[in-house]
Structure 1
Amino acid sequence: MKNSLLLLFVVFNLVSCKKFDQEIEPELAKKQTFIDTVENSDKDANGCLTSAGYVWSQLNKECVKIYQSAIILYPHANQTNEDETLNAYVVFSKEGGNEAEIFFPNTEKSHLFIRENEGQPWKYEDWQLIPWKGFILKKGEEIKFSGDGEFGPKVTGSDKIEN
């Protein structure tokens, strides 16, 4: 009798657990699919979280937060520009060397600039990145962007409290 009750108890538990799992699994699968979709919908092809400001650096082979880890070059005609989408950004290799990566405004792909020797400008097609009072980025003979050579945005306003 005890064995029969024990067997009946074990069978009941196994059947009820299986039924419980079958009811929960589709709901868990839906939730996991939603989570995976949300996590991946904001990433680029290299896995960089674009909404957090990360972009893929082909030079350093990693995601970088461009607004913090790059030298900002402002449109030469408007140095007080506060619209970050109009700026160019320069990333240098972590190992130093003769390569620079430029992120132009309103483009998804960066361009690698190469210099032959230290002290010379980095070049890409008819573009030149010249170290002078920071950096100047020229296309042909025309200066398109320039910056002070510091990482991150420069402070353009006053720190005084206005009345």
Structure 2
Amino acid sequence: MKNLLLFLALVISLNSCKKFDQEAVPEFTQKQTLLDTITSADKDEDGCLAAAGYVWSTLNKECIKIYESAITLYPQSNQNNEDETKNAYIVFGENGGNEAELFLPNQVESFILVRTAEGQPWQFNEWQLIPWKGFVLKKGDEILFSGDGSIGPKVTGSDKVED
């Protein structure tokens, strides 16, 4: 009788451990699936993490932080613009600079401008990127954007410490 009770206690304890393990696995799986969904939800089709400011550069074939690695061109109508979403951005290829990738505001896809020789403008359809006092971006005959040719946003205002 004593052996029977011991045997029953052993069977019950093994079954209770098995039930505990079976419940823990689905919960872990659910949490891992949720974590995977959260981390991949903000990635675009090229795998760039948009929330961190990354976009896909077709020219360089990598994710880049556009605000830190591209030449900023400001709207011609507002050269002191501080709203980065209204600027155009240029990224040059590593093949001698004969290709430039243009990122326009409110446009998902970038496009590639090409120049035939050094000193000539980069072109794509109606668009022209002209190297003049930095860069000027024209569509047809109209100048839409320009910038001094520096990478990243320009610093506006004063560096004077205010009281």
TM-score, normalised to structure 2's length?
0.88
Q: Distance in 1 between matches of 2:97 and 2:82?
A: 31
- Write the deviation string for residues 44-103 of structure 1: whole angstroms up to 9, x where unpaired: 110100011000000011000000000000001110000111000000113434110000
- Write the deviation string for residues 86-144 of structure 1: whole angstroms up to 9, x where unpaired: 00000011343411000000111001101111111000111100111100000111110
Q: Distance in 2 between matches of 1:86 and 1:78?
A: 10
Corresponding residue number in structure 2 for 1:159:
159
Corresponding residue number in structure 1 for 2:150:
150
Q: How many residues are treated as equivalent by the alignment?
A: 157
Query: Which letter maps to 1:139?
Result: K
Corresponding residue number in structure 2 for 1:117:
117
**Counterpart check, 1:58 vs 2:58:** yes
TM-score, normalised to structure 1's length?
0.88
Q: Which deviates more from structure 2 when the two are superposed, residues 91-100 or residues 104-113?
A: 91-100
Corresponding residue number in structure 2 for 1:48:
48
Corresponding residue number in structure 2 for 1:81:
81
Corresponding residue number in structure 2 for 1:70:
70
What SS is found at the alignment partner of 1:24? helix
* Gap runs ≥5 in structure 1: 1-7
Corresponding residue number in structure 2 for 1:93:
93
Distance change (3 Å), C-alpha of 1:11 and 1:97: farther
Identical aligned residues as a percent:
66
Q: Distance in 1 between matches of 2:150 and 2:60?
A: 19
What SS is found at the alignment partner of 1:101? strand
Q: Distance in 1 between matches of 2:22 and 2:151?
A: 55
Corresponding residue number in structure 1 for 2:22:
22
Corresponding residue number in structure 1 for 2:5:
none
Matches within 5 A, 1:128-147: 128-147=128-147
- Write the deviation string for residues 14-35 of structure 1: whole angstroms up to 9, x where unpaired: 7565433211111011101110
Q: Which deviates more from structure 2 when the two are superposed, residues 128-137 or residues 12-21?
A: 12-21
Query: Which letter maps to 2:100?
Result: A
Corresponding residue number in structure 1 for 2:31:
31
What SS is found at the alignment partner of 2:24? helix
